[in-house]
Amino acid sequence: MATNPARVLTAMILVLSISGRCFSEDHPGATKKPFWNYDEAIELTSGHTQVILSPQAGGRVLVYSLNGKNTLFLDEAEKNWKPGQQRVLATAGRFDIGPELIIPRRNTLWSGDWTGKITGPRAARLTSRKDDATGVQLIRDFVLAENSSELSCRQTIRNASDRTVEWCHWSRTFATGNGICVIPISEPSRFPMRYVMYEEGGLINFRNTDENIRLRDGYLEITGVPRKPKLGFDSYAGWMAYATRDDLLFVKRFATFPDRVYNEAAGLTMSVWYPEDRRVELEPIGPREKLAPGASASFTEHWSLLPFEFPDKRDIDLKTISSLVSRLPKTSQPTGPQPTRK
């Protein structure tokens, strides 16, 4: 019986199309699923953990939840955003590049349209367009662990220009407000109070005292709204924890580099913005990346969500916090920026 070449070709195209679609869209724990008006959103799931990513309007994490509780502050007003509109708000799981005081406006990166792609089981990539103001393109890779709440968040800065650029990783994640932030300190510190407070007019206060910020047993605790919201730290401990009012502990782990230059104004390795409002910003900061044309460098944050009863009178048990962090999977210890030369 003669074989019809057209039918064979059609069958081959169909098989390749199906297999290609499975590779890009049908991995376990990863699916394209609209969320609010973000019709290109990607959902990652594992057990009781849910992550929702949006390549639209800035390439963010919209939801990071355990047992249905979203630890990220996602403003309800974002429901009014529609594809094609200029977005005013920027809430939930935000990432950026710095340093803050000298980097130009970068709307392409901050609020522009990105592309999204499922890359494997519980994994996805968000990619920006090239930003002319900074000369870079950003790539964000997310992987949700199979048997825990851990979310790996890797941001790659790629120099897409014809000039050398110097930027750094700057995380700007909004968590739900009015919780307790715990930051392990490392010695020696450049700061007499182990932190700095940003005042009006760009002044950085190295000797501030505040009733809602205390140093205890090797940790700084932010137990409530401080006198000024922006605080900076030079700790090389490589993690920060935040206890939310709905009984979750949000932990961020990341690598630090004592022998490298941190190019924020006060040489910060992390920052916290704690206003009198519904949100608190948790900000790991990477070291300076000096990138020649075509070069790239990556910085990875490892997020974890753990059940944690919010303490009465805001008197948090630091030994419990330390124990919970120390028991996080050793196989997922944070890895920091590793420049990749092309």
Residue 197: CATH number of its domain? 2.70.98.10
Query: Mean per-residue pLDDT for 174-196?
Result: 97
Which two tokens mark 329? 């999977």
Q: What angle do CA 206, 209, 212 make, to 5 degrees?
A: 125
Beta strand 239-243 pairing with 248-254: antiparallel
Name every residue whose Cβ is closer than 8 Å to that of residue 330 and which is 6 or more positions away in sequence.
Answer: none
Count other Cβ atoms within 10 Å, centred on residue 64: 30
- The token pair that represents 237 in the structure block: 């401990």
Whether 185 has a pLDDT exceeding 90, the answer reads yes
pLDDT at 249 over 60: yes
Q: Is residue 17 part of a domain?
A: no
* Mean local confidence (pLDDT), 146-166: 97
Above 50 in pLDDT, residue 38? yes
Residue written as token pair 């709440």: 149
Strand order in the sheet with 49-54: 30-32, 42-46, 49-54, 60-66, 69-70
Question: Which H or E element spans position 239?
Answer: strand 239-243
Q: What pLDDT, on a 0 to 100 scale, did the predictor assign at position 16?
A: 39
Using the predicted structure, report yes or no on whether residue 15 has a pLDDT greater than 60.
no
On whether the CB atoms of residues 90 and 160 are closer than 8 A, the answer is no
- Say what the pLDDT of residue 321 is: 97
Q: What's the chain's average pLDDT?
A: 90
Better-predicted residue by pLDDT, 215 or 25:
215
State the residue range of the domain holding 154: 24-332
Domain count of the fold of the chain: 1
What 3-state DSSP class applies to 231?
A: strand
**In the numeric block, which tokens belong to residue 204?**
């950085």
Q: Residue 104: pLDDT above 90?
A: yes
> Is residue 11 one of the residues assigned to a domain?
no
Q: Given a cut of 60, is residue 336 above it in pLDDT?
A: no
Across 268-288, average pLDDT: 97
Task: Say how many C-beta atoms besides its own lie within 10 A of residue 120's C-beta.
Answer: 15
Question: What residues contact 219, with CB distance under 8 A and at least 6 apart?
Answer: 182, 183, 184, 185, 318, 321
State mean pLDDT over 108-119: 95
- When pLDDT is cut at 50, 70 and 90, the band that residue 22 belongs to is very low
Helix, strand, coil shares of the chain, percent, nearest 5, are 15, 40, 45
CA distance 174 to 172: 7
The answer to whether residue 254 is domain-embedded is yes
Mean pLDDT, rounded, for 196-203: 94
Contacting residues for 203 by C-beta, under 8 A, at least 6 apart? none
